[in-house]
Each structure stands twice: as structure tokens, then as C-alpha cells.
């Protein structure tokens, strides 16, 4: 009897402690940005982020409207149909062709949500819910202490995980819409509504939400965020989706402008077709045919002295690896420049423009956009994909509606895998 009572008391004390720890962690997170590991899945060339309790990976979807998690426990929290969150979830995000929910006849109305698999485009309806996330606060140099919080997201049937990296439990949508992770972090953690994303080509890359400095190890370590914030470029608004669109005025190979028809890069503000958009679910930059062929042919001519190899799908132009020399910024080939709004150029050296596909073969790492690509749902002209974003620090400011890019970090002798994930001291 007394034993039972004391263990009950111990349990109560433990619970109280857990609540205390929980709240102190939440309070400690106020105003402090958070950091999470981003990994590349070798078999799908997609990226996951460890932001869920237990480090369970979620697919990174820059253009994704919200967070979803497969196989929610039963029962799980629901979100009432009449609530601000439900307005955000169900009015904004029902993709075309997504099935309507089976409304239950009994109990309180559960807010429906429409989780979509961004890789194959399948979509389902399920319950909106709250999902517990965990990450570390950061000073931009190290993780400092863990924080946990609940974000609004959606449940999803397990079958929606097909075509995602093995082990991924759902999708982390990082778009510009109200229920995306950066926007929810901004209000939950009282941090700036901006984030930094550094996709790795191997090892652990990094994402920092909430602003602040961003440091990578190098000799000596480099802080990159301040300079990037001084050089922002405007994001363009898409009328129907929350993707990160930006302006391209042309493409050059070896400082020679590639001849493309007038207006091919323009985003039509009414219909939403055209424009350039970042996508983490497109492994290699995809170009509409009227941009792909002029670029591919210009690159072909600029590299005519390099021995060719048999094509390896999905690529159309491949070289013998032995015919290429390697520099600090990848294979020594003609560089490609994306000419951006405001006269700035984003240079893509060999590490960004080519990819080694097997021991003997290196290919031109761009593909022609297929109309069946799910990311092409609103028909952009350019989908800037993962390979071209790798080892670049990208910063997105959702309030100022700007982005900034570092250029290939190999050029300054560091990579996205050089964040120092050793726990720092938080004083
Ligand atoms: C916090 O960082 C430490 C050190 O890198 C890591 O072991 C731990 O898993 C992180 N915690 C969370 C919740 O991400
Ligand atoms: C950008 O690239 C184009 C084409 O190579 C070149 O003409 C232009 O001078 C470059 N602009 C800057 C600012 O480097
Ligand atoms: C990584 O951070 C830890 C904690 O601040 C520090 O002790 C260590 O020297 C750092 N590692 C490198 C390689 O700078």
C-alpha cells in the first residue's frame, strides 16, 4: 500500500518534472533560431530533414504547403472544423483532383486536410492534426539545446509514402504559405520568418530556421548570412502555389548568352505558367524544351573537345570521365551562368553542371521537363533542382519576399556538410 502510494507520488513528481522541462525548453526557444540536419538519400537523390521527435526523417519539399505524417496514431488530435487553422488547412490546400473527405456523421467535425506526395503527385484526404517536432536551438555555429513544439499538419495514409526515401515518415513543406514550417516556426518560436537551407551532396547538410548567423567550418570558419542578407533578390509571387519563384533573364555558357526566344523565362502573373522555381523534389534542373535545347546545344559546342560517352538516362549528353580534369569547383568545363534579375549571375561550375553517373561516365546534369512531372503542375519554364542547389547556401526571407544565394561553396573551400553539429554551450 505504502509502496504503491510512493510510486504514485514518484510518478506525479516525474510528470510535473516533464511538464516543467517541457515548458522551460519552450521558453528557452523564444527568439532563438533552430537548426536541423538535412541528408541526401542516395537511391532517390531526394533530401530529408530530421525535425521530428526521435530524428525520424521527413522529405524536404521547398514548395510544399504543409507538414504531413503518415500513419497517425488512433486516436489522434483533430482540429475543429470551425477554427482559424482549419480555414488555413482546408481552404488553401486542396490540390486539383484530390478526393473529397468522407465526412463522419458523429462526434465533432474533424478538419480535413489534403496531404500530397510531391514526388509522384498523388494526393489523399485525411485529418488535420498537430505533430510534435524537435530540433536544437542554435547560435548559427552549433546546436545549443533541444526544443520541442507542436505544429499543425496532416495525417496521411501509409501508402502515400511510396516513392519517398526509405525511412521517411512524411513531408516537411517549406513553402511561402501560412502553414509551412518556416511560417509556423516564426510564430511558435518567436523568430524571424526566414530560413537558410544548405543541401549536401553527401554527409549532413543543414537547415536553420529563424534567422541569425550561419557559420560553416573552413580554415578559418566562415559566417555567410550577413553578406547574403545584404544582397537579396526578389521572389516572385505565383498566383496559385506557394513555391519560391525568381526571375531569370537569360542563360550564358562561357560568358556567351544562349539564344532563347524572347520572354521564355517570364512568369505569367495571371495564368501562373512559366518562371523559374526552386524544387528540392526535382533531383536535376528541368528546363522547358525551348530552353533545354538551346542550352544543351551551346554546352555541347563549348565542350566539343571532350570525349563523349554513351548516354545514361535521364541524361542526353555524357562524357568519358577520364577525359575530364577535376578542379576545386568540380570538372573543368565551360561554366553556365543563370542571369538573374538585377544583372547578377549565378555561376554553375562543373560540380553543379555535371554529375558522375558511373565510374566511367559524367553527364550534363540538366533534363528536359516532362509534362508528367508532378512539380510541373503549374508549368514553370525552369525548375532549379537539387543537384544545382547542392553546396550552395540559400536563404529565404518570407516577410521581405527575397532570397539570397552564396554560389558554390567549394569556391570558398567549404561545403554544406561543414556545419558543426557538436553541441555548443548555451551559457
Ligand atoms: C541536438 O543536437 C545533438 C548534437 O548534434 C543531437 O545529438 C541531437 O539529436 C539533436 N536534437 C534534436 C532534437 O535534433
Ligand atoms: C553575367 O553574365 C553575362 C553573360 O556571361 C555577362 O555578359 C555579364 O557581364 C555578367 N554580369 C555580371 C555582373 O557579372
Ligand atoms: C565544434 O564546436 C565545438 C563546440 O563549440 C568546438 O569545441 C569544436 O572545436 C568545434 N569544431 C571545430 C572543428 O571547430
Ligand 2 atom 10: residue of nearest CA: 345
For residues 319 and 373, give the distance between their C-alpha atoms in angstroms, rounded to a whole number: 26
- Cis before residue 314, ω within 30 degrees of 0? yes
- Return the residue matching grid coordinates 470551425: 82
Hey, which of 35, 420, 426 would you mutate to test ligand 3's pocket, going by the most ligand atoms within 8 Å of its Cβ? 420
Please, which contacts does 319-323 make with residues 24 or more away whose CB atoms are closer than 8 Å?
319/354, 319/361, 319/362, 319/363, 320/360, 320/361, 320/362, 321/356, 321/359, 321/360, 321/361, 321/362, 322/360
Please list every protein residue whose CB sits less than 6 Å from any atom of ligand 2: 252, 255, 257, 337, 339, 343, 345
- Separation between Cα atoms, residue 392 and residue 247, nearest integer Å: 18
Q: Which of 284, 313, 243 is nearest to 386 (CA)?
A: 284
- pLDDT by residue (tens digit) across 41-56? 999 999 999 999 888 9
Helix or strand or coil: residue 173? strand
Residue 407 C-alpha from the chain's centroid: 17
Distance CA 272, CA 274 (A): 7
Q: Is the CB of 426 under 6 A from ligand 3?
A: no
CA of 238 to the centre of ligand 3 (A): 42
pLDDT score, position 98: 80
CA of 421 to the centre of ligand 3 (A): 9
pLDDT at 314: 96
Ligand that comes closest to the CA of residue 255: 2
Give the closest residue (by CA) to ligand 3 atom 5: 424
Handedness of CA 169, 171, 172, 178 (dihedral sign): negative
> Cβ(142) to ligand 3 under 6 A?
yes
Q: Is the CB of 422 under 6 A from ligand 3?
A: yes
Q: What cell was used for 73?
A: 496514431
Q: Answer whether residue 143 shows pLDDT above 60.
A: yes
Q: Which atom of ligand 1 is nearest to the CA of 53?
A: 13
| SS3 of residue 320 by DSSP | strand
Distance (Å) from CA 374 to ligand 3 centroid: 42
Ligand 1 atom having least distance to the Cα of 148: 13
What is the structure's pLDDT at 24? 38
Mean pLDDT of 393-418: 98
In angstroms, what is the C-alpha Rg of the chain? 23
- Contacts with 73 (C-beta within 8 Å, 6 or more apart), sequence order: none
Alpha carbons 60 and 397: distance in angstroms, whole number? 17
Structural domain boundaries of the chain?
7-215, 225-405
Report which protein residue has its CA nearest ligand 3's atom 2. 422
Regarding the beta carbon of 135 and ligand 1, being less than 6 Å apart is answered yes
- Output the CATH code of domain 7-215: 2.40.70.10
Minimum-distance ligand 2 atom for the alpha carbon of 343: 13
Rounded distance from Cα 38 to ligand 3 centre (Å): 19
| Closest by Cα among 161, 90, 180 to 127 | 90
For the CA of 36, the nearest atom of ligand 1? 14
Degrees to nearest 5, angle at CA 78 with 73 and 83: 160
pLDDT at 323: 97
pLDDT over threshold 90, residue 335: yes
pLDDT bin (cut points 50, 70, 90) of residue 93 is: low
Rounded Cα distance between 397 and 178, Å, is 14
Share of the chain above pLDDT 90, in %: 78
Q: Quote the strand ranges of 254-308, DSSP E.
A: 256-257, 276-278, 285-287
Rounded mean pLDDT of the chain? 89
Distance separating alpha carbons of residues 151 and 246, to the nearest angstrom: 28
Q: What is the DSSP letter of 1?
A: -
In the block, cell 542578407 appears at 229
**Cell numbers standing for residue 222:** 566562415
CATH T-level fold of 225-405: Cathepsin D, subunit A; domain 1 (2.40.70)
- Smallest Cα–Cα separation from 45: which of 374, 312, 279, 242? 279
What is the Å distance from ligand 1's center to 388 Cα? 28
Q: Residue whose CA is closest, atom 9 of ligand 1? A: 55
| 384 touches ligand 1 (CB under 6 Å) | no
Is the minimum distance from the CB of 218 to ligand 3 under 6 angstroms? no
Answer whether 224 contacts ligand 1 (Cβ < 6 A): no
Separation between Cα atoms, residue 194 and residue 383, nearest integer Å = 22
- pLDDT-derived band of residue 249, with 50, 70 and 90 as boundaries? very high
Write the Ramachandran bin of 360: left for phi over 0, alpha for psi from -120 to 50, otherwise beta.
Answer: alpha
For residue 259, the CA-to-ligand 2 centroid distance in Å is 15
**Distant-in-sequence, close-in-space partners of 90: CB < 8 Å, separation ≥ 6:** 111, 112, 113, 114, 128
Which residue CA neighbors atom 13 of ligand 2 most closely? 344
* 334 alpha carbon – ligand 2 mean position (Å): 14
Instruction: Measure the CA dihedral 415/416/422/427, to 10°.
Output: 110
Q: Say if ligand 1 is within 6 A of residue 424 CB.
A: no
- Given a cut of 70, whether residue 404 has pLDDT beyond it is yes
Distance of CA 376 to the CA centre of its chain: 16
422 CA → ligand 3 middle, Å:
6
Closest-approaching ligand to the CA atom of 338: 2
Q: Does position 347 have pLDDT exceeding 90, yes or no?
A: yes
Nearest to 359 by CA among 326, 392, 301, 320: 320
Q: To test the ligand 1 pocket, which listed residue (21, 48, 143) has its Cβ within 8 A of the most ligand atoms?
A: 143
The reply to whether domains 7-215 and 225-405 share a CATH topology is: yes
Q: How far is Cα 407 from Cα 391, in angstroms, rounded to an integer?
A: 8
The per-residue pLDDT for range 4-48, each reduced to its tens digit, is 444 444 444 433 333 333 333 444 345 899 999 999 999 999 999
Average pLDDT over residues 328-342: 95
Amino acid at each position: 500500500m505504502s509502496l504503491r502510494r510512493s510510486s504514485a507520488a514518484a510518478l506525479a513528481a516525474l510528470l510535473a518534472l516533464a511538464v516543467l522541462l517541457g515548458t522551460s525548453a519552450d521558453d528557452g526557444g523564444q527568439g532563438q533560431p533552430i537548426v536541423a540536419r538535412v541528408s541526401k538519400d542516395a537511391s532517390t537523390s531526394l533530401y530529408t530533414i530530421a525535425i521530428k521527435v526521435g530524428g525520424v526523417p521527413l522529405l524536404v519539399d521547398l514548395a510544399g504547403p504543409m507538414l504531413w505524417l503518415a500513419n497517425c496514431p488512433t486516436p489522434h488530435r483533430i482540429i475543429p472544423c470551425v477554427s482559424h487553422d482549419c480555414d488555413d488547412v482546408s481552404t488553401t490546400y486542396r490540390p486539383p483532383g484530390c478526393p473529397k473527405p468522407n465526412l463522419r456523421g458523429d462526434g465533432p467535425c474533424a478538419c480535413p486536410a489534403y496531404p500530397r506526395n510531391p514526388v509522384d503527385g498523388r494526393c489523399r484526404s485525411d485529418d488535420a492534426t498537430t505533430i510534435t517536432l524537435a530540433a536544437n536551438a542554435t547560435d548559427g555555429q552549433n546546436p545549443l539545446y533541444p526544443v520541442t513544439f507542436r505544429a499543425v499538419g496532416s495525417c496521411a495514409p501509409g501508402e502515400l509514402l511510396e516513392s519517398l526515401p526509405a525511412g521517411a515518415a512524411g513531408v516537411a513543406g517549406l513553402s511561402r504559405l501560412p502553414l509551412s514550417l518556416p511560417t509556423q516556426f516564426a510564430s511558435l518560436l518567436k523568430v524571424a520568418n526566414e530560413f537558410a537551407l544548405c543541401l549536401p551532396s553527401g554527409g549532413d547538410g543543414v537547415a536553420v530556421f529563424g534567422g541569425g548567423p550561419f557559420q560553416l567550418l573552413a580554415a578559418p570558419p566562415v559566417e555567410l548570412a550577413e553578406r547574403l542578407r545584404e544582397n537579396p533578390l526578389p521572389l516572385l509571387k505565383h498566383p496559385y502555389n506557394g513555391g519560391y519563384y525568381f526571375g531569370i533573364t537569360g542563360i550564358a555558357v562561357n560568358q556567351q548568352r544562349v539564344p532563347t526566344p524572347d520572354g521564355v523565362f517570364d512568369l505569367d502573373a495571371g495564368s501562373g505558367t512559366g518562371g523559374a522555381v526552386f524544387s528540392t523534389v526535382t533531383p536535376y534542373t528541368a528546363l522547358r524544351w525551348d530552353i533545354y535545347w538551346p542550352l544543351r546545344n551551346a554546352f555541347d559546342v563549348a565542350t566539343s573537345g571532350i570525349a563523349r560517352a554513351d548516354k545514361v538516362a535521364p541524361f542526353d549528353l555524357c562524357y568519358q570521365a577520364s577525359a575530364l580534369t577535376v578542379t576545386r569547383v568540380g570538372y573543368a568545363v565551360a561554366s553556365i551562368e543563370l542571369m538573374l534579375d538585377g544583372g547578377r549571375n549565378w555561376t554553375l561550375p562543373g560540380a553543379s553542371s555535371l554529375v558522375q553517373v558511373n565510374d566511367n561516365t559524367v553527364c550534363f546534369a540538366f533534363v528536359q521537363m516532362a509534362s508528367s512531372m508532378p512539380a510541373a503542375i503549374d508549368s514553370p519554364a525552369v525548375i532549379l533542382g537539387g543537384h544545382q542547389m547542392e553546396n550552395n547556401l540559400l536563404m529565404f526571407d518570407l516577410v521581405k519576399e527575397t532570397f539570397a544565394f552564396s554560389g558554390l561553396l567549394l569556391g570558398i573551400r567549404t561545403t554544406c556538410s561543414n556545419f558543426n553539429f557538436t553541441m555548443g554551450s548555451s551559457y
